[in-house]
Structure formats: C-alpha cells, structure tokens
Structure 1
C-alpha cells in the first residue's frame, strides 16, 4: 500500500509529509462537508464544514478581520487530510498534535500568507470554544457546565446536504480571500 491518500480532486497527499502545492481548497471544502462533528456521536449529522462556516461567520460578526475569519474557516482544514479526533483523546496524541500543527501552519501560510499570531490563535480559540458550547447543547442535548457564551450569529444545527455546505464553504472562502 502507498503512504498517501487520494483526495477528492485526485491528488496524492502524504499527511506526514505535506506539500503546500497539493493542498486544495476544493478538497478541504468537500471533505469537511462530509466529516461529522463529534466523531459521529451527535443526535443528527452536523459537519465539520458547517462548524467552520459558523466560526468564520461568528468571527465576522465580532468585527474580526477578514484574515481571522478566513483562519476560522480553515481552522479544522487539517482534518480533511488527517481525520477528526475527539479533543479528550487528541490531548494524549502528542505526535498527532505536532503533525496537525505542522499541517495547519502550511495551510495558513498558503492561504493567509503566514501562520497565526499568538493573539489570532487566542481569538480563534475563544470563537471555536464558544461554538463548541452550542454544538454540545444542540447536537448532544448536553450543555456544558460553563455559562452560555453570547453569539453574534444564530446557531442553526439543521441537517444540510453536503453539497450545499461544500458550496457555501467555497463561496465564503472566495469572499474572505479577496
């Protein structure tokens, strides 16, 4: 067997030795629209792509820069090449985290021109965690113990066709990448 995955657009991508020229936004949008949040342990299907769209829209609603909104859209892009690993388990996978960070740095550099600053990372972390609170409430009927964070968008966890999510992801990417 080979040491690569074949992507939606037919590229041979080695997640352990990522090459920026093989990273493709169409692959990211397609795969994330088909990967379920929470490792599939949710009441209804909700894709990582939908979550990333929410994060980007929430960043814009908080008056963040287009750069940060684009980073929010891309913050789980490594999962299209490495899969989604639940947070509690991911904390124990130090090599996985290093590979994921390396791949995200390549993705951010390709689409943002550089890696995120510490301040950008922190802003993105807050947005991601705030939306995770809503995912827990609406996808698992299990609101976290932390107080409900305010959102500036409406969190709609309606099941949507993957093609619709993929199209919205690509459209938002183009809007933020101008």
Structure 2
C-alpha cells in the first residue's frame, strides 16, 4: 500500500502528494492527536496546540496573514508523516527532503507558493521560542539560551482534542490567505 487513509477518507500518498487530496480538516484533526516530544512530556501536549501557539505568537507580533497561516501549518506534514524528534531527524536526510517537499506542496495549496527565506526565518524563530516554553512547562527543563522574547505568554492548559481541532480550524479561517 502506498497511501494512508485520512480522517476524511482520502487515500493520500505522502511520498507523491496530490494537493487535491490535502484537506485542512484532516490536518486540524490529526495534529491534536499527535503528542509533542515523542510523548516524553509531563502531560499530553499536541502538535496541534504547538502550532496554535506559534500562529498566535505570529499574530501577536503583527506579522502578515501569510506568516500567521504559515506558522499554523509549519508542522502540518506531520499529520501525514508523523512527528520525529529533532535529534533523530537531523540524521534522516531522505525523510527531511520528503518532509520539505510535502511542506512546499502544503504551503502552495494554502498560501499560493512555498515560504520564502524571510518567512521561513520568522516562523523558525517563533517555533524555537515556543519550543523553549515547551521544554520549560512540559519537562521542567531549562533550555539552552536565555528566555526568548515573546509577545504573548503561552497557555499550557490541557484541552480536549476536539477543542484544539476547532480552534485550529478557526485560526485557519481567520487568517486564510487563499
């Protein structure tokens, strides 16, 4: 079998992604079901919650709708490819290439084109800042470097996955580019 069956019933091949089969409902449903940090956290915290925090931080910084939506979607490939922890992913060249290709397809579908270098930089800064808070609040661990400057204080209240799914869709609709 060369595909996965998505929540909405599509047969999606993550190796040869068809943009017509990418559905925001599948993304919004799957990401709240995937635990951050390979499950090595003090309480369940989803990739969906992480993406929501990133989008909220982008909005709080006054970034464009395109960057806000890009921040919301920056881990969307994980709904099709799963999450791989950073220490392992750095050695997975083919996986990273495929993930980047899938992200370009996702960004093109929802934003009209892949992210440019500056947009990637802004989203990476936000992603790293939120990761610092993830490490602090979900593991009680001090991350490397100083506490990052953020425009909002991340809220780590655990919520039902359906609530996260709904908020993900609401943010997507609010900042939708296309």
Partner of 1:99: 98
The runs of 4+ residues in structure 1 deviating greater than 6 Å are: none
Q: Note the residue ranges of structure 1 that are not aligned, 5 or more in a row.
A: none
Q: CA–CA distance in 1 between the matches of 2:14 and 2:106?
A: 12
Q: CA–CA distance in 2 between the matches of 1:110 and 1:80?
A: 16
Partner of 1:139: 138
**For 1:133, what is the secondary structure of its paired residue?**
helix
Partner of 1:23: 22
Q: How does 1:57-76 map to 2 (within 5 A)?
A: 57-76=56-75
Partner of 2:6: 7
**For 1:169, what is the secondary structure of its paired residue?**
helix
What displacement does 1:151 show? Answer: 1.5
TM normalised by structure 1 equals 0.98
The answer on 1:172 being equivalent to 2:166 is no
Q: CA–CA distance in 1 between the matches of 2:33 and 2:112?
A: 27
Question: 1:51-72: per-residue Cα shift (whole Å, max 9, x none)?
Answer: 0000001001111111100000
Q: Is the CA contact (8 Å cut-off) linking 1:28 and 1:77 kept in structure 2? A: yes
Matched residue count: 177
Q: CA–CA distance in 2 between the matches of 1:27 and 1:72?
A: 17
Q: CA–CA distance in 2 between the matches of 1:57 and 1:15?
A: 28
What displacement does 1:145 show? Answer: 2.4
Partner of 1:51: 50
Q: Note the residue ranges of structure 2 that are not aligned, 5 or more in a row.
A: none
